[in-house]
Structure 1
Amino acid sequence: MKFVLALLGMVGIAILGGIWPTTAQAQKYPTRNVTIIVPTGPGAGTDLLARILAARLSERMGKTFVVENRPGAGTIIAARAVVQSKPDGYTLLMGTSTPLAINATLHKKLPYDPATDFTPLALIATVPFVLVLNNELPARSVPEFIKLAKEKPGAFSYGSTGPGTPFHLYAELFSSMTGIRMVHVPYKAAVAGLADLMGGRLQVMMTDFASSLPLIQQGKVRALGVTTKTAAPAAPGIRPIAELGVPGFEASAWQMVVAPASTPKPIVDKLHAELKAVMAMPATRDQINKIGLVPADTGSPAELQAFVKSEIVRWGDVVRKSGATVN
């Protein structure tokens, strides 16, 4: 009997020994700088959003949250870097619906599983996009642009931030729903594509407001419509594409902070609570609105995991409908 009790005591100590270090580690976390990897170049909405969060988290948690841009390969470079990092809470991804949902169907071969290789921390924002044209094009409305593009199939080029990104997928969806044909030109950053749009090397682009709103306001590009069902808060005067000749058109991205799978639960819970507190701050929500995004109310990490799985299914339908694919 004494032997059994002693054995049980040893087992209990072993179990507690595995729990307490993790809990203590979470209480001290972070003890050094944390990196937030961004799958886009500087100046895009995802980059600006990550910098807003990084500044707030640095203030609250006492260590610097550093934003690191790793654009390329349709967000795969950044996503793979986070998946392959140590799951200790010191490398996070400012994820979007592209690496976390769209890529699952778009890519025939994907070096990670978005449903299982990440642990969601918080849903941050949704992202309306806008259809913009080079000012030299004679089209001044969605129907006029569709008519012009049908008269000149393949003559117009559109820019994106890479295969599978909303910049690419929404343009392909628009093309498939309207029967037009355009040439895809990928860039590493939205600002580079917009520079070529203004310069006339591109004629059209589906882009986020963070990158394009100042240019729209200054009259440097022409906005025709937004991709969401309702007007975007950042530009209430621009009507939805669905109301302007393409009924049923709807597409919006989302932004979520995630960590590698197997990140200790106490650290996941701490980051979730801190991000939720940051998103509850009126100043944070105001900053997000100003860059053309719409602040979101996050669910728990478990609820977000289910959300990601449902989004993989939803975006799978959109990808197949658009006809887009990457080998």
Structure 2
Amino acid sequence: MKHTRRTALGMTFALLSRPGFARADAYPERPVKIVVPYPAGGYYDRVARILGAALRVPLKQQLIVDNKVGANGVIAAAQVASSPPDGYTLLLAGVGPNAISPALSPHLQYEPIKSFAPISLLVSAPNVLVVPASSPIQTFGEFVALAKRSSAALNYAHNGVGSSVHLAMELLENRTGIQLTAIPYKGSAPAVQAVTSGEVSIAFASVLDVLPLIEAGRLRALAVGGTERIAAIREVKTVAEQGVAGFDSTAWSGLCAPAGTPADIVAKLNEAVNTVLKDPKVAKQLSPGGELQILGGSSEQFGSYIRSEIAKWTQVVKDNGIKPE
């Protein structure tokens, strides 16, 4: 009996001595850093700062935002992937560094799946298919029909090869059999200006960039690229609703930790994130105009979603022979 008791106590001590074991109750004991792959003031930065402020309540600790800009998020993702797996360095993950960059550049400094422990999806900003208000194209169906008749006459703006909006149009072309002429611009603002002025025929653009122009009557929305309609423009149907089954193109964001982070810490973070996302005040801060979709969910669901996004965009890149600039 004594031997059994000593053995049990020894095993318990050994387990408790393992780094990261049974730390969830005490975690976090110091400030947590959220590494954001994009500049201050943008969509991802705003999500991180709102989330960080809200998480101070359930986690009882400060969360610090660290903007690490460069290479479409790859620099930030690589930094987090190589950080200690202790829950104190997190990545504000997104479609760029976690799904599109792996599709464009197979040889990254991190493995998009193996290097991270998914915590939770956060929000998504759908891409919206828009035309100038002066365009004769009134509906999504008219656009597809016109493109099939005279594809050479239609062009579209995007903000860079391999960007979310560029791949959205490539995906739409693949799914509908149309072909347009791509016109690249140096950034979202000039691309949106080009379609607003009628310099180009059409474009996919983030709802965050075009919603004010749609509401002002300067752009016409033909379809929403996400799987759900946007609350602010509820009358606009999704691409999938208009005959392109399974179409989904959004700038999603989520929270990841380095691979090897203890499961109990990941679970604690997931619970805290889902708690704050269900708070109406936080949801209003994240999406004041009803432009974003509030997500959340389990870490397993987030992991599955990342894998599906990588598979989708890898296929689009392969099918269209897209190379990084």
TM category, shorter = 0.7 to 0.9
Question: Hey, what does 1:250 align to over in structure 2?
Answer: 247
Question: Hey, what does 1:262 align to over in structure 2?
Answer: 260
Structure 2 gaps of 5+ residues are: none
Following superposition, the deviation at residue 225 of structure 1 comes to 1.7
Q: Which moved more, 1:288-297 or 1:277-286?
A: 288-297
| Number of aligned residue pairs | 321
SS for the counterpart of 1:103 is: helix
Distance 2:237 2:262 in 1: 45
Structure 1 gaps of 5+ residues are: none
Q: What is the percentage of aligned positions where both structures have the same residue?
A: 28
Question: Hey, what does 2:158 align to over in structure 1?
Answer: 159
SS for the counterpart of 2:222 is: strand
Question: Hey, what does 2:184 align to over in structure 1?
Answer: 185
Listed one character per residue, the Cα deviations across residues 14-49 of structure 1 (whole Å, up to 9, x for unaligned) are 443226x754576141412x3323334455543333
SS for the counterpart of 2:97 is: helix
Following superposition, the deviation at residue 100 of structure 1 comes to 2.6
Alignment of 1:132-281 (within 5 A): 132-135=130-133, 139-142=137-140, 145=143, 147=146, 151=150, 153=152, 156-160=155-159, 162-176=160-174, 177-185=176-184, 187=186, 190-191=188-189, 193-195=191-193, 197-198=195-196, 204-228=202-226, 230-242=228-240, 247-248=244-245, 250-253=247-250, 254-281=252-279
Rate the CA distance shift 1:70–1:132 in 2: closer, same or farther, 3 A: farther
**Matched AA of 2:63:** F
Question: Hey, what does 1:296 align to over in structure 2?
Answer: 295
TM-score scaled by structure 1?
A: 0.78
Following superposition, the deviation at residue 152 of structure 1 comes to 7.2
Rate the CA distance shift 1:195–1:63 in 2: closer, same or farther, 3 A: farther
Q: Check the 8 A contact 1:44/1:210 in 2, yes or no.
A: no
1:16 paired to 2:16: yes
Q: Check the 8 A contact 1:23/1:266 in 2, yes or no.
A: yes
Following superposition, the deviation at residue 98 of structure 1 comes to 3.5
Alignment of 1:299-314 (within 5 A): 299=298, 301-314=299-312
Within the candidate set 53, 56, 66, 1:55 is matched to 53
Question: Hey, what does 1:115 align to over in structure 2?
Answer: 113
Alignment of 1:2-151 (within 5 A): 13-18=13-18, 22-24=21-23, 27-32=26-31, 34-42=32-40, 44-135=42-133, 139-142=137-140, 145=143, 147=146, 151=150
Q: Check the 8 A contact 1:172/1:324 in 2, yes or no.
A: no
SS for the counterpart of 1:56 is: helix
Listed one character per residue, the Cα deviations across residues 266-324 of structure 1 (whole Å, up to 9, x for unaligned) are 3322211211211222223344443522222402x345334433443344444444553
Rate the CA distance shift 1:5–1:63 in 2: closer, same or farther, 3 A: closer
Rate the CA distance shift 1:30–1:5 in 2: closer, same or farther, 3 A: closer
Rate the CA distance shift 1:150–1:41 in 2: closer, same or farther, 3 A: farther
Distance 1:43 1:167 in 2: 20
Q: Check the 8 A contact 1:159/1:202 in 2, yes or no.
A: no
TM-score scaled by structure 2?
A: 0.78
Distance 1:8 1:242 in 2: 57
